[in-house]
Amino acid sequence: METDDKHLSIGWSSAVMVFWLAAACATTLKSQSPGSSSPSGRPAVAAIMETPIKDYNVENVSIAEALVKLRAQDYRHVLIGFEQVPHREGEKRAPISLKIDAGTLGNVVQRLCQADPRYEYQVVESPVGQPKLKGFMIEVRPRGAVNNPADILNMRVGDYEVDSNITAAGAISRISQDAPELREYLERKAEEWAQRKGTHSGEIGAIMSGNMVPPRFTLRLRDVTVRQILDAISLKSIEIYREEPDVDSRGMRGKPYPTGWRYNFVINPDASTGIGGIPEWTAL
């Protein structure tokens, strides 16, 4: 099972890399070094890694589910950015079981990455925009992802700006619209796909929203990667959590906890996105 998955992953990466490399000049994909890990990949010791974890118990779950469960240990302090290995819809991998009665976040993440060696982790120690929040979140991502020029999260964005009443989760899910280079790239690929297929694109709208007006979310970043933007959005959510009252002016309770991010790419060569699959940015 594991061998099959590795073959699948490598095969896909190779195919897409060739495809994207052709566009690399236009999109100026560059590798980045968001953290301060050593070349060996060992993360620097940071406060988040020492976050106490108690009674952590997952059985037969994916690493994505395990991270969701890990975050539920302490929503205020466990902040994770998770880039999932590209996969086909419904694809299963050998499940993870892990039981830790008392440990730290570092222990758990390390064990999870050992259980699914396709992943590595790194503390975000040089966040853009929020230098005071270094060491407040970790990234779990495919091994070598930050140096993979085909990884869409490494795409450079010249000027990212959000200034509206949205939640951090909303900003994460809208990044494909708010990051100009990413938006233009995705639009162009979709248009190229439509032209190749000789079909016309359209939109199905099913836009959900809530009745809460979130606090103002203002973030402007220049010359950063998509990955750095996602990290910055998550770290911004810490600031908002600290500043917002427990009950807003309308009497609504429950300011959002600091919000992590998740990037998921479902491989589908026929997808109308034109990039060999469907990318999805969501809150974690």
Partner 1 sequence: MTANDVHYYLTKLRLNPHETRMIDLRQLRDAQVPDYKNNLIPAQATDGSVNWIRIDNVAVMGRLMVINRGAGMASNYDCCTGFCPGTLIPGSMDFTPASATVAVADGQQYHATVTYMEPNLVEDPIDQTDWGVWSSQYTDVATVNDTAMATGVAGGTSTISIAVNGCSQYITYYYGGACYCYTPATEPGSGPLGVVSVTTPNGPGNIPLLLSGSGPNSSTYSATGTPSGGTYSWTPTSSKVSLSNTSSATATVTSVSASVSQNDVPITVTYTFGGQPASSTVVITVSQPTSLKVSTDTTNPTGHSCVAGSGTPSCSQSYIPGSTSYSSYLRNRAYLIQDQFSNWMSGWNMTLNESYTTPTGACASTATLQTGSGSGDTVTDCFYFCNSTCQSGGSCSVSSTQTVTVNGYSVAANSMNFTCSGVTINGN
- Residue 48: Cβ within 10 Å count: 21
Q: What's the min distance (Å) between Cβ of 212 and partner 1? A: 4
Residue nearer to partner 1 on the CB measure, 70 or 146: 70
Q: In the complex, what is the shortest distance from the CB of residue 144 to partner 1, in angstroms, rounded to a whole number?
A: 28
Q: Of the two residues 92 and 200, which places its CB atom closer to partner 1 in the complex?
A: 200
Q: Which residues, 6 or more positions from 31, have their beta carbon under 8 angstroms from its beta carbon? A: 146, 147, 148, 149, 154
CB of 157 to partner 1, least distance (A): 16
- Report the alpha-carbon distance of residue 124 to residue 253 in Å, rounded: 30
**Do residues 115 and 63 touch, judged by C-beta distance below 8 A?**
yes
Site string for partner 1, 77-116 (x = CB under 8 A): ------------x---------------------------
| 3-class SS of residue 31 | coil
* 270 lines the binding site for partner 1 (CB under 8 A): yes
C-alpha 112 chain-centroid distance = 17
Kindly tell me which of 1 and 207 has the beta carbon lying closer to partner 1: 207
Q: Establish if 283 lies at the interface with partner 1 (CB under 8 A).
A: yes
CB atoms within 10 A of CB 152: 23
Q: Should residue 245 be labelled a site residue for partner 1 when binding is judged by CB under 8 A?
A: no
- Helix, coil or strand: residue 276: coil
Which residue in 40, 60, 207, 243 binds partner 1 (CB under 8 A)?
A: 207
Asked whether position 73 contacts partner 1 by CB under 8 A, the answer is no
Size of the chain, expressed as the number of residues it contains: 284
Q: How far apart are CA 233 and CA 249, in angstroms?
A: 24
Contact present, 146 and 126 (Cβ < 8 Å): no
Q: Is residue 1 close enough to count as binding partner 1 by CB under 8 A?
A: no
Residues near partner 1 (CB under 8 A) are: 68, 71-72, 75, 89, 167-170, 173, 177, 187, 190-191, 194, 197, 199-212, 214, 237, 246, 248, 251-259, 268, 270, 272-273, 282-284
